[in-house]
Amino acid sequence: MNALEERMAATWEHLCTTPGFSHPGFSCDVSTDGKVIMSPTLNYHGWFQARVSILLAQHAPTGQPFVELAVLTPNGLFEVDVAWSRDFRRIRQQKIASPAPELCIEVEAEGNTADEFNRKRLALFTAGCSEFWIIRRDGGIEFHAPSGSIPESSLIAGFPNYIED
């Protein structure tokens, strides 16, 4: 890790060991200048995280999902809502995932903006992610590859494009 990445990782570790931040009810990211960015989430957010994790286990048994995975990128340290990787044993042993897992998924929250999703998507692709999905509040899924938007996942064949009850 370079000095910037070390500083972001140290900020993250400090948050993880500070009482009150271990399960705060919001997602956290760390910017390249060391600022902590917190976004509160509502109950549907956790439901979508659980539901997509179940679907990943069903459609992609060669890997395993993670929820709230810290991923180090050159543009910040991001807590990914759901991630999936074939190399789950390596990632499980890391304090902070680097490189990024193959699949990174964000569940849309009230405060998310298109710019925020684009910034995170580009940073995660730079860090090694192969696909980035956005689960919208209505359950629709947007699939993205480094080349742009794609109609369906090429990484996980047969994954639905809508999350249902």
Query: Is the backbone peptide bond immediately before 99 cis, with ω within 30 degrees of 0?
Result: yes
Is residue 1 assigned to a domain?
Answer: no
Task: Give how many domains the chain has, as a whole number.
Answer: 1
Is residue 18 assigned to a domain?
Answer: no
pLDDT at 36 (0 to 100):
74
Domain with 121 in it: 42-150
pLDDT at 21 (0 to 100):
60
Q: In sequence order, which ranges of 17-127 are alpha helices (DSSP H)?
A: 43-59, 88-93, 114-126
Check which CATH number belongs to the domain holding 60 and give it: 3.90.1570.10
Is residue 73 assigned to a domain?
Answer: yes
Is residue 72 assigned to a domain?
Answer: yes
pLDDT at 157 (0 to 100):
92
Measured torsion, CA atoms of residues 153, 156, 157, 158, in degrees rounded to the nearest 10: -80
Instruction: Give me the chain's average pLDDT, please.
Output: 88
Share of the chain above pLDDT 90, in %: 64
Is residue 12 assigned to a domain?
Answer: no
Is residue 125 assigned to a domain?
Answer: yes
pLDDT at 30 (0 to 100):
72
Residues of the chain with pLDDT under 70: 12, 15-28, 38-41
